A and B are shown apart, each in its own frame.
Chain A
Amino acid sequence: MAVCVAVIGKDNSPKYIRCSDETAALQFHYKVHTSIDIIEEKLNTGNKMAADVRELFLGLLFSTEEHKIFGYATNTKIKFIVVLQSTNASLRDNEVRMIFRKLHSAYANAVCNPFYVPGDQIQSKGFDTAVMEIMGVS
């Protein structure tokens, strides 16, 4: 299951970031942050080729010995980043896509809250629950 889930705003600052292991949170922050490099690059080249029908799922951004980092960018340039354990080889591309789809709809629900101001940190119990589910913590 995922070890870290992050939502990055369109200004590339974190709107939500949650790790299963809070003691290693800083390392995950750095990892998620550095993967923005690749997301930006992918989004830029994507715009050049086909701006209209863009695949939101960006695929594997980065893999280290321990972790695999997957990315997803909405049309409003909100980015989702999920870090999976490399040892978890059973997780296929399609399942990762499903994770992102779940995350996207949870995000959409969270920002539909009329008291949420776009650009703020996400503080939503519903979103927390969805993320916990993705991380398999619940």
Chain B
Amino acid sequence: MSELPAELTAKPLALIGVTGLDTVNNAIHRLIWDAFSNNRRPDSAAVQFKILSNAHEFPTVKPKRNSYEWYIPKGILKRNWMNKYLNDIPSVVVIFYDLDWNDSMWNEKKIECASRVQSLRAAIEGRSTKIAVVLIQHGAPPQPGAEDAATTERATALCAACELPAKSLYVLPHGDHLLGYTLRLENAFYDLAQNFYHLEARIVKNHRDHLNKTTHQYLFVRHQFKMGFLNELKQDQHMAHKHYQLAYNNLLDIRMVDTNALEIKTVASFINYKLCRLMFNLNLPRDAISQFRAHTDRFKLKVGPKELMFEHHAWMSGQFSTFAELFDEAIRQGLPAVQTQHPGYYFQLAAQHATLRQTACRDLCKDVNEYPEPDPLAGQDKLEYYGQRPWRPGKLSAEPADMAREAAAIQALQHKEKTTVNHSMIIIGLLGHAISQFKTYRCPRMRRHLVVQMADEYYNSRDYGKALTLLMHMLWDYRGERWPGLLTDILTKALRAAYLSTSLQDYLTLALEALGPTSCLPKDHQAAIYTNISNILQKNIPNPEPHLPETTAALAMEKWNIIVNKSEPFVITIDANNMATFMEVKARFTQKTYTVRSNVTIEVFIRNLYHQSMEFSKVSVTVNSPGYSSEFAVSDIQDKPVIFQEKETKKFLCQFQARQQDVGNEIQISTVSLYLGSDSNRCLIMRFSALGGENNVLDRTYPEIQQIRGSVLEFDNMRPLVSAEIEQEESSIKILADSATPGLLGEWLPININLSTSEQVASARLSIVLVPDGGNDQSTELRLSTNTKQEAGPITVDIPMIEKDQAIHKIVYIRAHSIGNRNIIMKVDYSNIEEVTYSREITYNLPMVKPFDITTQFYTTLFEPISKGFVYEPFIMMPNIICSSPSPITIIGTCIELGDSMQREDEEVQESALSGITLCNGEAGSEAYCIIPKAGSEQPASTGVYTIQWRRTNSPTDLVTSSSVTLSPLWVEETPVGLVAKLPAHGSVRTPLCVSYYLRNYSDYMITLQLTMDASDAFMFAGQKQVEVCILPQGERKIEWVLRPLVAGSVALPMLTLAMPSGAYIYYNNCLLSTQISEDDHKVSRSRLGEMLERSLPSHIYIMPQSQSV
């Protein structure tokens, strides 16, 4: 915006003049002035206050023209006009005067005030500037509504004296609320001002009738511009826009020739500026943009005089940058912009035109070396009209003026352009603006393109260092874009910049990349670059890059001379990861894991993509492991340089021993380095990552179709493997544990441990320990032999020496008392003959199960199942062994140890019925014991402990295990009366048989019982049918019958019933019962007697038929 005058770009504000305020000496006046002029809020009226001194001279009014007939305008816009209305001609002049209504000197003061008004009126003679009077009053303000007759009268009188309308008299009470009063006054003045500008515009409008199209074209533009400007001062933006638009259209009607080209373009740019700014303000951004486009399209071909071509480009550039700034300003005010329409494009175009200007200047001004005398440009700043030439002001005709003068002026302008304008800085500045805009609107590629242009400009301005920095950054970005053409372009530029700025490291980096496959440099250029690399390495000056400016190239060569001939050797390391250079490198470990002290082998594949052979002095691999990194040279070259033929791929091996420190860690191939140039003197190290870089772009884009490519080359197919693990080496001792599984509870189970070794072991120690499972640790025993008691703690066995391939056999015994899994750790610590100790351990898992289950069943002597026993009544107890061991077991013997209250019926020791029996899984064995309980109890009585001696049937050893089981307890009840029947096993029909029943009284009282023998059809019997017996305490009574069976078969015996005769006493269940107590007790007793009969007496007997022969 630098080219636009300040009065144009300033925001037009209504000018209000202020007199009568002595701000220097009067504090009250100062306060009032501050209230008006300071504290301006954005929403307050668009006015500007200006203090007019008494000596202020208003611009003289030009004599009014009655006819424009003979008037020929000398230009379009006068330079002073806008400034006049902005700063010199107030729309309103306000006279401040200290006067109270009740002032004692009222009359004198009134006259003084009137004279002031009169003198002001004289000063602004001929202008329609409004006059207003403000009385500063110190008295209390009158109450609103309380109209004071005297006040009204005095006000009228004052107005009359001053010849002012009543509306133009204001009162400013000086007291509280000063700001409120000034605000209201300000608005009143603003109204007056608007009125003034409206009138002024009308006056200008009235001139139009006098104009004609042929001679007054300039005036049409001028008048419309004035109306536009006055409306702007009036803050009527719509009207202003309309008039500016008309002014612009009128301007386009003017024929443009070389002599007026500058003036028309200058005015056009002014009007265009006003138009665009108004349209952005009126929120018509599209209109603004299209107005601007039409503007530039229209004027871009109106070049003007050819000798001053650069002026046109400067003007175009100014148009674009001005519009871009307007646009940017509008965006800051809240206008949304989009990616395809934002100020960046205009800044870019501005930069483009600035470049054209530079080119034009270079072409046109190259021969201009001196400034003409006398200065044809003198008086440039004092011209009456905008955009006119100082050497021929006001000349409108298109005819060539003074030719010599014209030529001198052009030379002066060209000289000025050449010497005073820094084109590059303008271009770079504009590009900088554009770059930041494109960055904001997400156009990264556009931004990069502009940065490259900026670098070009730095290059043009010979700031090679900055150009190089920018280009190096861009090179980085463009590598990722994979546009070979663009990359080559930047690479070429960067090479030139690097050469000229003699940056050794950058030049070499760029040179290496230039030789690579992604650049499309011609082969001879590549060859030249390669020569330069070797030149530098051999202390020679590199040859200049092609297309360098000769003068600077010579300078650069001198600097190179110094750099190259430095005495100290230099080593330059270049990270080749991020660039696509001419060598490709991949490396891999041959295995994923290596054991300690074995040889780690790395295969390195290197491919030369350059079209000539390359020579390297050394190839090395850097391997990283946690904590350190080390570099290994590849093994198959011994200080001989490696030569790669064109497109040749070579494979190298690199070997080293895996270190003990790395056990369990990962080692990585971090870089592969190629050394160019001899090691001692000066050398260039290219560092590659072993992954082969990112050159294989297609792998990333179309991984699914890579097999189509069908490359047979080893290099392409090789997958890098850059990390490997180091493991502890395989132990030479093997531990094998074996046992019958599962283990059975209670047995001593042998576990066979076999140690075998593949190398000689000097000494070893085997330790065996049980993994505690958190439960009862006492439930498992571990011993070396079943006989000796082992102290607690792990079992250790020292083994003195094991020969190679010799096996050591050890047995350890385990006994468990609860089921579940047992884990046994067997560990061997050993040392080989080199006294290096190793250890190896295994964990042996052993499940434990029960060998058998034992249940107990109880029966009466008649083999009826019972749930309780009776004292002195024998019953049968059967322990039942159910085998649950998966392997068969053999029972060696059993024995029983009866409970205290139990007694076997026959005391002689009998051999177990189960001895020698083999039970498989699921099979069961049982034996029976006849037991007589001797005492009853409230609790179930313990019946006894059953002990089984057994062993595994298939066990090679004859270890016998003895397992004891507590048998189920049994309720034993006391009973007062016992009955035993003695009768033969069988009888024969019609053969009498003798039956005797023994009744026993177990109590200490005499019992009286009534026996009744029911009659039966199957028998005739002799004996008492019904009898009452008395049994003495602990006594026994025998009752006999003789039965004569009548039928054969299993015949029911005659029923015997027992009853208590009434009046009898029995002692029963430790309490004395009386028959008199109740019927219930009697009944209980009866039912108990019934139960007793049922379990003691056989109900049937076998009767054989009578033998025929007898």
Binding site for B on A (CB under 8 A): 9-14, 17, 25-26, 29-30, 33-34, 36-38, 41, 61-62, 64-65, 117-119
Contact = CB atoms under 8 A, between A and B. Distances in A.
A33 to B, nearest CB: 6
A11 B701 contact: yes
Given A33-B445, A34-B446, A61-B340, A118 B702 contact: yes
B449 A33 contact: yes
B485 A25 contact: yes
11 contacts: A11-B697, A13-B697, A17-B485, A29-B483, A29-B485, A30-B486, A33-B481, A37-B446, A38-B443, A64-B349, A117-B708
B446 A11 contact: no
Given A11-B700, A13-B481, 20 more contacts: A12-B482, A13-B482, A17-B485, A25-B485, A29-B485, A29-B486, A29-B489, A33-B483, A33-B486, A34-B443, A37-B339, A37-B442, A37-B443, A37-B445, A38-B340, A38-B443, A62-B340, A117-B705, A118-B702, A119-B701
A41 B340 CA distance: 10
Could you say which of B483, B697, B698, B701 has the most chain A C-beta atoms within 10 Å of its C-beta? B483
**Nearest 3 pairs of A and B residues by beta carbon:** A13-B482, A37-B443, A34-B446
B306 interface: no
Interface in B339-388: 339-340, 349
Contacts of B444: 37
B483 A14 contact: yes
Nearest to B702: A119
A114 B414 CA distance: 64
**Chain A binding surface SS class:** mixed
B290 to A, nearest CB: 13
Contacts of B452: 30
Contacts of B481: 12-13, 33
**Chain B binding surface SS class:** helix
A10 B701 contact: yes
Contacts of A38: 339-340, 443
A118 to B, nearest CB: 5
A11 B300 contact: no
Nearest to B442: A41
Interface residues of B, number: 25
A119 B349 contact: no
Given A13-B481, A117-B709, A119-B701, A26 B489 contact: yes
B349 A65 contact: yes
B347 to A, nearest CB: 14
A41 B339 contact: yes
Contacts of B705: 117-119
Contacts of B708: 117
B701 A9 contact: yes
Contacts of B485: 14, 17, 25-26, 29
Contacts of A11: 482, 697, 700-701
Contact of B449 (A30, A64, A119): A30
Nearest to B482: A13
A36 B483 CA distance: 12
A39 to B, nearest CB: 10
Nearest to B485: A29
Nearest to A121: B484
A25 B700 CA distance: 28
A36 B701 CA distance: 18
A26 B483 CA distance: 11
Nearest to A9: B701
A66 to B, nearest CB: 10
Nearest to A116: B708
A18 B418 CA distance: 39
Contacts of A61: 340
Contacts of B702: 118-119
A104 B996 CA distance: 124
A118 B705 CA distance: 8
A25 B442 CA distance: 25
Nearest to B453: A30
Contacts of B698: 119
Contacts of A12: 481-482
Contact of A34 (B445, B697, B700, B701): B445
Contacts of A10: 701
Contacts of A13: 481-483, 697
A65 B348 CA distance: 12
Nearest to A10: B701
Nearest to B339: A41
A20 B339 CA distance: 29
Nearest to A120: B698
B439 to A, nearest CB: 11
A25 B701 CA distance: 26
